[in-house]
C-alpha cells in the first residue's frame, strides 16, 4: 500500500506561501502538502481566505429581518499569507499535558474495568490533538458545549479534572457529570457549560443548534438580555460528532437550521473512519461527508489532520473566530484515528486488519506531538518523561480518591425526576375556586389562543414555533393576507402581536422542533412548540423520550429543559383516517420526567395551559381536535391568572351507582351515556382526570369507594393502554370496595379507518359506554 500523507488524503487547498511555511506546521512523514486533487471541493472553501470575508448575504425569509447578517468584508487586492499559529513553548507543553493525560485516563479506566472496579469504558484515544486544540480556542463557562463520548481531551482542556472524570467512571455521587447516573465519558459540567450528554448518537446536534438559536433570539428581543444571565454577545456553541453519526437525519436537520439562521455553531466531525465496525465508505456515499455538505450556504468548511495538534489549532481558531464574528456556522472535518476498540464491549481485531491498525499507530497524536516537542527543542527527553511521570501520579491518586468516594444513597433514586423547586400539583397553581368568568363564551381554540397571548405578554422568554404556526413568514405580505396561525388557527395573530423573533415557522421536521426547543430551554428560554398532528410526533419521540424527559434526572438537576409541546390529537373527525386520528397517550404517560395534560373543554384548556407554561417541567399538552370548536364545551374567559393544578380531577357528574373514570373526548360521550342510563334508574358519576401524568388517584379512590363499581373509558386502544394501568391499580388497592369487576371501554386494537362506518365501530361511542354501564350495574 503506497504511503499517502494526510493532506494527500484530504487534498487540502492552501496558499503556496503556507506550503512553504516553517516546520511548526509540518511533519515530514505525514504532512507533505500537495496540489488540489480531482474531486476537490470548490477552490477556496478550506482556506484562510474563505473566512476573511463573509459569504454573500443569502435571500432569507423576513423572520431574519430584525437581525440582518453582517456586511461582507471589503475585498482586498491580494490575500495575505496565512499566519502560522502563535503557540508559545508553554502552550505547547500545556497541550501535551492535556493530550497525554487524556490517553492515560483511558488506559487507567481500561485497567480498572479489567479489575471490575468500573463497569464500562469508551475511549477518546486518537482524538486528543483536535480536541485539545478545540478546548484552547473556546471559553469554558462562556461558550456552550455539546460534546460526544470521545471528547475527553476537550473536557480536560476546558477545566474538568482527572478526579471528576474518574468519579463518573466509578459512579460516585460527587461526579459532576451526572452524580452517578450516567455511563463514563458522557460529559456534563454545569460550571463549564458542558451540557449533559446522552448515549444516542446525534441527538446533541439539534440541541446545540437550539442553544445557539437562543443566542440569536436573545439578540433580537431586548427584554431577554436582562433575563438570561448566561448570555454573551459573541458566545459560540460547540458540538461534535463521529463520522458514523453523520448518517443520522438529525445531523442534516441541524446543519439546515444552523445555516439558514447563520447560527454561531462550530460543528466538529471527528472522523476516525469507523462507526463501531462499519467503515466510512459504507456509512457515507463517496466516503467523504465534506463533499456531501458542500452545498450548504453560510457554512465555513475546513478539513485538517486531526492528529496534528498545531494544524488542528490553526483550523479551530479560524472556525471559532468565524462564529464569534457572527458569520454563520463553521464545520471542521478532522481526520483522526481510533487506536483502541470502539469500547471495551468491542474487539476491533474482528474486523480491522493488522496492517490497517499498524498504519494508524504511526499517526498516534500523543506520540507524534511528544516527538515534535523534542525535535523542536521545546523540551528534552528527560523533561518530557518528568511530565509523564507527574501525570501518571496524578491519575493514580485520582483513581484512589474516586474509588473511595461514596456512590449515591438508594433513597436518592427518585430525586430530580421532576423539578424540586416548582410543584405544578400544589395549591400555588390552583385558582379554580375563585375564578371570575366574563365575556362571551369562547371555544377551546379561543381560550388556548388567548392564554398564549397573555402568557407571551407576561414572559418575554416564551417563543412559539412549529409548522405553519406563524401568520405569514414573509412579513412583507402580512398586511395583504389574513394569516395562517396554525392549521387549526390556535396560534392566530401571535406573530402579528409579538413579531417574528418570538413566533416563527419551523421546517417540516418534528425532531428539529423538539431538539431545538430542548436547547433553547436549557439556555433559559421557554419554548411553547407545536407538533401539527399527534400522528406525526414519532420522528420527535427520540428527542422526547431520551433527551427532553431525562435532562434533569441524568444531570442530577444541573440542567433542565422545561418547555411545552402542544399536540392536536384524537379522532372523531370524519375523514381523519389512520394518520390523523391516533391517540397513543400511554406511550407518553409511561415516561418519567414528562407531564401529560389532556383537557376536555375550553375552560380547563385555558387553566391547564397556563399551568403548563408556568411550571418547570416538560409538558405534552394534548388538544383534542374534535373538541376544538364544540359548542357544549365553550366557556367565558376566566381571567389572566386562571390556573388548574396538575393531578386535580374534576367531578363532572355526581352519581351513586357507578363511576366512570375518563378524559378527553370520552368525557362528553360518557355524559351522554350517563343521561340515558339515568332514564333506566342508574346513577352514574363521571370523573374527568384532566391530566393523565400525574393523575388524581385520590379522586379515583374516593369515587370508587362511593359507588363500588367502575368503568375506565378512553379513546386509545383497549390493550396495553392507560386504562389498563388505572384498572390494575383499582383492583390492587381498592379491591375490598368493589362489587363488580373493573370494566374498560376503549377503541378496538386496530387503526382508525377512513370510512365513517368503520371509524364509528373502531372508536368508542356513547352507545358502547351505555352498554358497559348497563352490564356492570346488573352484575
DSSP conformational letter for 484: -
Tell me which H or E stretch contains 309.
helix 309-324
Q: For the chain, how big is the Rg over CA atoms in Å?
A: 30
Distance between CA atoms of residues 495 and 84, nearest Å: 49
The residue annotated as part of the active site, out of 186, 189, 342, 580, is 580
What is the DSSP track for 521-590?
A: HHTT-EEEEE-S-GGG-GGGHHHIIIIITTHHHHTTTS-----EEEEEE---STT--GGG----THHHHT
Query: Cell digits for 146?
Result: 455539546
Distance between CA atoms of residues 738 and 720, nearest Å: 22
Angle (CA) 458-461-467 rounded to 5° is: 105
**Chain Cα centroid distance, residue 647:** 27
Which residue in this structure is represented by grid cell 486528543?
128
Phi, psi (5° rounding) for residue 327?
A: -95, 0
Distance between CA atoms of residues 98 and 488, nearest Å: 55
Positive or negative torsion for Cα 657, 662, 668, 669: negative
Which residue in this structure is represented by grid cell 394569516?
483
Query: Cell digits for 21?
Result: 511555511
* 173 φψ region: left (φ > 0), alpha (ψ -120 to 50), beta (else): alpha
Distance between CA atoms of residues 416 and 554, nearest Å: 9
DSSP conformational letter for 194: B
Distance between CA atoms of residues 715 and 111, nearest Å: 55
Positive or negative torsion for Cα 536, 540, 542, 547: negative
Beta bridge partners of 368: none
**Residue 626 is a catalytic residue:** no
DSSP conformational letter for 165: H
Reported as half-sphere exposure (CB side, CA atoms, 13 A), residue 677 has a value of 31
Helical H runs in 325-410?
Answer: 354-361, 365-375, 381-404
Write down how long the chain is: 779
- Strands of the sheet containing 658-662, edge to edge, are 650-653, 684-688, 658-662, 710-717, 743-747
Query: Cell digits for 347?
Result: 474487539
Query: Cell digits for 50?
Result: 474563505
Burial class (CB in 10 A: 0-12, 13-18, 19+), 285: exposed
Residues annotated as catalytic (active site), given as ranges: 580
Amino acid at each position: 500500500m503506497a504511503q499517502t500523507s494526510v493532506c494527500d488524503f484530504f487534498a487540502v487547498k492552501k496558499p503556496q506561501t503556507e506550503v512553504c511555511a516553517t516546520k511548526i506546521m509540518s511533519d515530514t512523514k505525514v504532512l507533505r502538502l500537495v496540489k488540489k486533487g480531482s474531486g476537490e471541493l470548490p477552490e477556496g472553501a478550506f482556506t484562510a481566505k474563505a473566512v476573511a470575508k463573509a459569504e454573500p448575504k443569502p435571500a432569507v425569509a423576513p423572520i431574519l429581518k430584525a437581525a440582518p447578517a453582517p456586511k461582507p468584508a471589503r475585498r482586498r487586492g491580494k490575500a495575505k499569507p496565512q499566519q502560522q499559529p502563535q503557540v508559545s513553548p508553554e502552550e505547547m507543553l500545556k497541550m501535551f499535558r492535556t493530550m497525554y493525560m487524556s490517553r492515560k485516563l483511558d488506559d487507567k479506566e481500561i485497567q480498572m474495568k479489567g479489575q471490575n472496579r468500573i463497569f464500562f469504558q469508551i475511549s477518546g484515544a486518537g482524538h486528543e490533538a483536535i480536541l485539545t486544540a478545540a478546548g484552547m480556542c473556546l471559553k469554558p463557562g462562556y461558550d456552550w458545549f455539546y460534546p460526544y463520548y470521545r471528547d475527553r481531551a476537550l473536557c480536560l482542556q476546558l477545566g474538568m479534572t482527572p478526579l471528576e472524570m474518574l468519579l463518573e467512571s466509578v459512579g460516585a455521587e460527587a461526579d459532576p457529570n451526572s452524580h452517578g447516573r450516567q455511563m463514563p465519558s458522557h460529559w456534563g459540567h454545569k460550571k463549564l457549560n458542558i451540557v449533559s450528554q446522552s448515549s444516542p448518537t446525534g441527538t446533541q446536534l439539534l440541541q446545540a443548534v437550539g442553544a445557539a438559536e437562543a443566542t440569536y433570539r436573545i439578540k433580537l428581543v431586548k427584554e431577554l438580555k436582562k433575563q438570561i444571565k448566561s448570555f454573551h454577545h459573541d458566545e459560540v456553541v460547540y458540538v461534535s460528532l463521529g463520522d458514523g453519526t453523520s448518517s443520522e437525519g438529525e445531523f442534516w436537520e441541524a446543519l439546515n437550521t444552523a445555516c439558514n439562521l447563520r447560527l454561531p455553531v462550530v460543528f466538529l466531525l471527528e472522523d476516525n473512519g469507523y462507526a463501531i465496525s462499519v467503515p466510512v465508505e459504507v456509512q457515507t456515499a463517496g466516503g467523504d461527508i465534506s463533499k456531501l455538505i458542500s452545498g450548504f450556504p453560510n457554512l465555513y468548511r475546513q478539513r485538517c489532520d486531526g492528529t496534528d495538534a498545531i494544524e488542528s489549532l490553526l483550523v479551530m481558531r479560524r472556525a471559532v473566530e468565524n462564529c464569534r464574528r457572527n458569520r454563520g456556522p463553521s464545520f471542521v472535518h478532522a481526520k483522526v484515528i481510533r487506536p483502541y476498540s470502539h469500547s471495551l464491549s468491542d474487539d476491533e481485531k474482528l474486523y480491522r486488519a493488522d496492517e490497517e491498525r499498524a498504519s494508524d499507530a504511526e499517526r498516534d497524536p500523543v506520540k507524534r506531538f511528544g516527538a515534535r516537542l523534542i525535535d523542536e527543542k521545546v523540551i528534552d527527553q528527560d523533561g518530557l518523561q518528568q511530565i509523564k511521570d507527574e501525570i501518571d501520579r496524578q491519575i493514580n491518586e485520582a483513581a484512589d480518591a474516586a474509588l473511595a468516594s461514596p456512590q449515591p444513597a438508594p433513597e436518592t433514586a427518585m430525586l430530580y425526576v421532576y423539578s424540586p423547586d416548582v410543584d405544578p400539583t400544589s395549591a400555588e397553581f390552583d385558582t379554580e375556586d375563585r375564578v371570575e368568568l366574563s365575556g362571551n363564551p369562547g371555544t377551546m381554540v379561543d381560550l388556548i389562543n388567548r392564554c398564549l397571548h397573555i402568557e407571551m405578554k407576561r414572559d418575554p422568554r416564551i417563543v412559539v414555533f412549529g409548522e405553519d404556526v406563524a401568520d405569514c413568514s414573509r412579513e412583507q405580505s402580512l398586511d395583504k393576507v389574513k394569516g395562517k396561525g396554525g392549521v387549526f388557527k390556535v396560534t392566530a395573530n401571535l406573530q402579528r402581536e409579538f413579531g417574528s423573533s418570538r413566533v416563527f415557522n419551523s421546517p417540516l421536521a418534528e425532531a428539529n422542533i423538539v431538539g431545538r426547543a430542548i436547547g433553547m430551554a436549557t439556555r433559559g428560554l421557554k419554548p411553547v412548540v407545536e407538533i401539527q398532528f399527534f400522528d406525526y410526533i414519532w420522528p420527535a419521540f427520540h428527542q422526547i423520550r431520551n433527551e427532553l424527559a431525562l435532562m434533569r434526572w441524568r444531570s442530577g438537576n444541573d440542567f433542565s429543559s422545561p418547555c411545552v409541546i402542544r399536540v392536536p390529537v384524537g379522532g372523531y373527525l370524519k375523514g381523519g383516517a389512520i394518520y390523523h386520528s391516533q391517540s397513543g397517550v400511554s406511550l407518553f404517560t409511561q415516561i418519567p420526567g414528562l407531564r401529560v395534560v389532556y383537557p376536555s373543554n375550553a375552560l380547563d384548556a385555558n387553566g391547564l395551559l397556563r399551568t403548563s407554561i408556568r411550571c418547570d417541567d416538560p409538558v405534552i399538552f394534548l388538544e383534542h381536535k374534535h373538541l376544538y370548536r364544540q359548542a357544549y364545551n365553550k366557556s367565558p374567559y376566566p381571567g389572566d391568572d386562571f390556573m388548574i393544578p396538575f393531578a386535580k380531577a374534576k367531578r363532572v357528574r355526581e352519581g351513586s351507582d357507578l363511576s366512570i373514570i375518563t378524559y378527553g373526548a370520552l368525557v362528553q360521550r360518557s355524559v351522554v351515556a350517563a343521561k340515558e342510563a339515568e332514564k333506566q334508574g342508574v346513577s352514574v358519576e363521571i370523573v374527568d382526570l384532566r391530566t393523565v401524568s400525574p393523575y388524581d388517584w385520590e379522586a379515583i379512590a374516593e369515587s370508587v369507594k362511593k359507588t363500588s363499581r367502575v368503568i375506565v373509558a378512553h379513546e386509545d386502544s383497549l390493550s396495553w393502554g392507560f386504562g389498563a394501568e388505572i384498572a390494575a391499580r383499582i383492583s390492587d388497592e381498592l379491591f375490598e370496595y368493589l362489587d363488580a369487576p373493573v370494566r374498560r371501554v376503549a377503541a378496538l386494537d386496530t387503526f382508525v379507518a377512513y370510512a365513517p362506518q368503520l371509524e364509528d365501530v373502531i372508536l368508542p361511542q356513547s352507545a358502547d359506554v351505555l352498554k358497559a354501564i348497563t352490564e356492570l350495574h346488573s352484575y
